Structure 1
Amino acid sequence: MNEQDKIISEASSWAVRVEAGLSGADQDAFLDWFTADPRHAEEYDRQRANWSRLDILADWRPEHSTRPNRDLLAPRRETLWGWLRKHRRMITGASLGLAGAAACAVLLMVGIFQPTATPPLATPGSAVYAAKDAISTIEQTKLDDGTIVELNRGASITVTYTATERHVKLNHGEVNFNVAKDPSRPFIVNIDGVNVRALGTSFNVRRGGDAVEVLVTSGLVRVDANDGEPAAPSGGQPATQEDSLVKAGQLAVVSFAAQSPSMSVRTVESDKIENMIAWHPRLIDIAEQPLASVVAEFNRRNAPIRIVIADPELAQAEISATLRSDQVENFVRLLEGDSRMKVERDGNQVTLHKKRRG
């Protein structure tokens, strides 16, 4: 196989994989391959165009053949490369390199909501899931029962499923659960002796300092402490089973500051709930917005990572893109390809400087 044949084979393979959806590691590998050689970008565009033409056959039916259609296999939709040539300014401004824009556009707009692939969890069995404490490592995992788990940076859980119970231990950090309904197997999350029990609901659990926070976004959970016993209300009165119920829109805080755990429950306004779970990955559609507002949105959703704009003039530069809120690394790479700015990295801080001419 000569070099050109190898490029064709790799481009065809990437076209199929991008269409199916890429994991975080695959996204990085694709970006490295795409930008390594201009021929990679050209051949990838050609392969995508071929697939676009073949997609049209999916709409064909025998009854359509009574009248010849000479345009059946004619290109009906614009290729990615052609679209980028026309809308180059809409991605990151007029001065962004085409290859970099294409690579980032593919990463940000195609298949990025696929959950992280994990092997099925046997019953009985256990597995450990963790998210690295890095710039773009919010992890999304689908457990074998259909439950979706989102781990914030640095979080870790141990999952153990049996025939009668689904048990998750939060080792550290913050995790969101969208629990699949299975009345025969309760879903229980344990955090330092606090049990959060649900049948089918969505809730966020955060372990920090001497307290555990449980925010319920839909459904109902029961929060128990002291080996399954309800935690005493913060007022000091004897606890009841009803005291331990937490409904959608409520936040339960179990404190370990005293000799025995105590729990307080309060209703949280919707805008405050949004701020509390801002780290959850969401698709953000940006249309000709000032860089400052886009950076502010990323900073709000990705603490402790912080992007700083060092030049006030650069803050007003307009950009457009469609990307996932946790894809900070891809967003930074996108900015690195913009000739208007220089990107400086220092740990969890990214500083944007205006490039000086000459």
Structure 2
Amino acid sequence: GGAPSLAPSYWLADQRTATGELRTLRLEDGTLLSLNTHTAVDIDYAGAQRVIVLHQGEISVETGHQDPRPLLVRTEDGRLRPLGTRFLVRREAGGTRLEVLQASVAAMPHNSGDEQVLREGQQVLMNANGLGEVGTVPAGADAWT
């Protein structure tokens, strides 16, 4: 029966890519944000924090340094706080996949007060209740960028 339906958050998102489309944005703070195919994000720089919300798909983030406010990447599974870095975030069936390519990123699941720092070359699957086992980022993980 027809095409799979897309969540309203996909259509309402600030930035989205269609299937097969890639897009790279340079945000006002100098952050380089790449959207993989079929990805939807909201960008909210209005408040005390810079927030990128990933609804669907995968993003690559290379943080800019022209803004003193903390940068957060949020998904429904939790939040990621980059510590001057380049990293990938992908929505998967089981949660949110974080792959750290440079420096480190602190991950905090929604229902857990524990923040865990992942370092360069590490990856983890985060769901709302916690973090999975830390593994190694596969070679070429960011080849799509």
In which range does the TM-score fall when normalised by the shorter chain?
0.7 to 0.9
Matches within 5 A, 1:115-194: 128-134=14-20, 137-162=21-46, 164-181=48-65, 184-194=68-78
Q: How does 1:1-80 map to 2 (within 5 A)?
A: none
Distance 1:174 1:193 in 2: 14
Please tell me whether the aligned partners of residues 202 and 219 of structure 1 are also in contact (alpha carbons under 8 angstroms).
Answer: yes
* Runs ≥4 residues deviating over 6 A: none
Name the amino acid aligned to 1:208: E
CA contact 1:139–1:151 (8 Å) conserved in 2: yes
Would the aligned equivalents of 2:45 and 2:51 in 1 still touch at CA under 8 Å? yes
Q: Which amino acid aligns with 1:197?
A: R
Where structure 1 has 5 or more consecutive residues not aligned to the other structure, the ranges are 1-126, 231-240, 281-358
Counterparts of 1:1-358 in structure 2, within 5 Å, are 128-134=14-20, 137-162=21-46, 164-181=48-65, 184-226=68-110, 229-230=113-114, 241=115, 244-255=116-127, 261-268=129-136, 272-274=138-140, 276-280=141-145
Deviations along 1:161-199, one digit per CA (max 9) or x if unpaired, are 035210011010011000112573111011114100114
State the AA in 1 paired with 2:14: V
Mapped contact 1:165–1:187 kept (Cα < 8 A): yes
Distance, in Å, in 1 between the alignment partners of 2:52 and 2:15 is 10
Q: Matched residues in 1 for 2:135 and 2:117: separation?
A: 13
1:195·1:223 contact (CA, 8 Å) conserved in 2?
A: yes
Q: Is the 8 A contact 1:177 1:203 kept in 2?
A: yes
Letter aligned with residue 144 of structure 2: W
Deviation of residue 279 (structure 1)? 1.4
Higher helix share: 1
Q: 1:160 to 1:178 in 2, by over 3 A?
A: same
Contact 1:252 1:263 survives alignment (8 Å): yes
2:118 maps to a residue whose letter is V
Could you list the runs of 5+ residues in structure 2 that have no partner in the other structure? Answer: 1-12
After superposition, give the CA deviation of every residue in 1:252-289 in whole Å (9 maximum; x if it has no partner): 11145xxxx221243426xx231x22211xxxxxxxxx
Provide the residue aligned with 1:44 in structure 2: none
TM-score, normalised relative to structure 1: 0.35
Which whole-Å CA distance do the structure 2 matches of 1:267 and 1:210 have between them? 16
**Structure 2 CA distance for aligned equivalents of residues 227 and 183 of structure 1:** 29
Larger relative contact order (CA 8 Å, sep ≥ 6): 2
The DSSP-based 3-state class of the residue aligned with 1:177 is strand
What CA deviation, in whole Å up to 9, does each residue of 1:176-234 have, x standing for no partner?
0001125731110111141001142111000011221000000111100126722xxxx
Number of positions where the alignment pairs a residue of Structure 1 with one of Structure 2: 133
> CA separation of 1:219/1:143 partners in 2, compared to 1, >3 Å: closer, same or farther?
same
Q: Distance in 2 between matches of 1:273 and 1:191?
A: 25
Q: Deviations over 1:28-74 (max 9, x none)?
A: xxxxxxxxxxxxxxxxxxxxxxxxxxxxxxxxxxxxxxxxxxxxxxx
For residue 278 of structure 1, what is the amino acid of its counterpart? A
Relative to structure 1, the CA distance from residue 253 to residue 181 in structure 2 (aligned partners, 3 Å threshold; closer, same or farther) is same
